[in-house]
């Protein structure tokens, strides 16, 4: 596997600092509560072709996500938009999340979501205890695909 881009470690540190700042110690991470504690409104709508987005307006930041997806996808989308809020909020007034975007900001937000929902140390601990990927996906409340991707990234 090629070396990880330099931004991976910065994003991991940023996600870990956020978890510490808001005293998140239980898993799965309640990203809806975390966003609310950060002063970010959350809304869900039955979008057909949009997973979610982040909007800044006169009322403050708002994360919106599709209500037409499984809860694991919704959680990842909200965590992804939190990534935009933390990493990119000075770059624009809105972000739209569509599947398979190749833009750097989207890849960074995906990395942030993975770090937030599946912290490296917690995933490695579960793996070392012999937990199967499917059980870990349930524990962290992510899709099996997201967990398998995370495990691959961590060389597990």
pTM of the model: 0.88
The total number of residues written for the chain in this structure: 156
Q: Which CATH architecture has domain 7-118?
A: Orthogonal Bundle (1.10)
The β-bridge partners of 66 are: 45
Between CA 14 and CA 27 the distance in angstroms is 18
Going from N- to C-terminal start, the domains of the chain cover 7-118
Per-residue pLDDT of the chain (156 residues; tens, 9 = 90+): 444 566 678 899 999 999 999 999 889 999 999 999 999 999 999 988 888 889 887 888 999 999 999 999 999 999 999 999 999 876 655 555 555 556 788 889 999 999 999 999 999 999 999 999 999 999 999 999 999 999 999 999
Q: Which residues fall within 8 angstroms of residue 57, CB to CB, at 6 or more apart?
A: 93
- DSSP letter (8 states) at residue 48: S
Q: Tell me how crowded residue 67 is: count the other CB atoms within 10 A of its CB.
A: 11
> Which is nearest to 97 in space by CA: 115, 112, 117?
112
Token pair for residue 89? 């909020």
């Amino acid at each position: 596997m090629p070396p990880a881009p330099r931004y991976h470690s910065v994003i991991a540190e940023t996600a870990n600092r956020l978890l510490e700042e808001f005293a998140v110690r239980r898993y799965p991470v309640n990203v809806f509560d975390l966003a609310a504690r950060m002063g970010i409104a959350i809304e869900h709508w039955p979008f057909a072709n949009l997973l979610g987005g982040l909007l800044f307006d006169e009322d403050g930041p708002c994360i919106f996500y599709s209500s037409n997806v499984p809860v694991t996808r919704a959680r990842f989308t909200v965590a992804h938009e939190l990534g935009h809020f933390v990493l990119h909020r000075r770059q624009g007034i809105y972000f739209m999340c569509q599947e398979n975007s190749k833009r750097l900001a989207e890849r960074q937000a995906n990395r942030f979501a993975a770090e937030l929902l599946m912290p490296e140390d917690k995933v490695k601990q579960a793996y070392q205890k012999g937990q199967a990927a499917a059980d870990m996906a349930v524990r962290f409340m992510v899709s099996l695909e997201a967990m398998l991707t995370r495990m691959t990234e961590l060389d597990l």
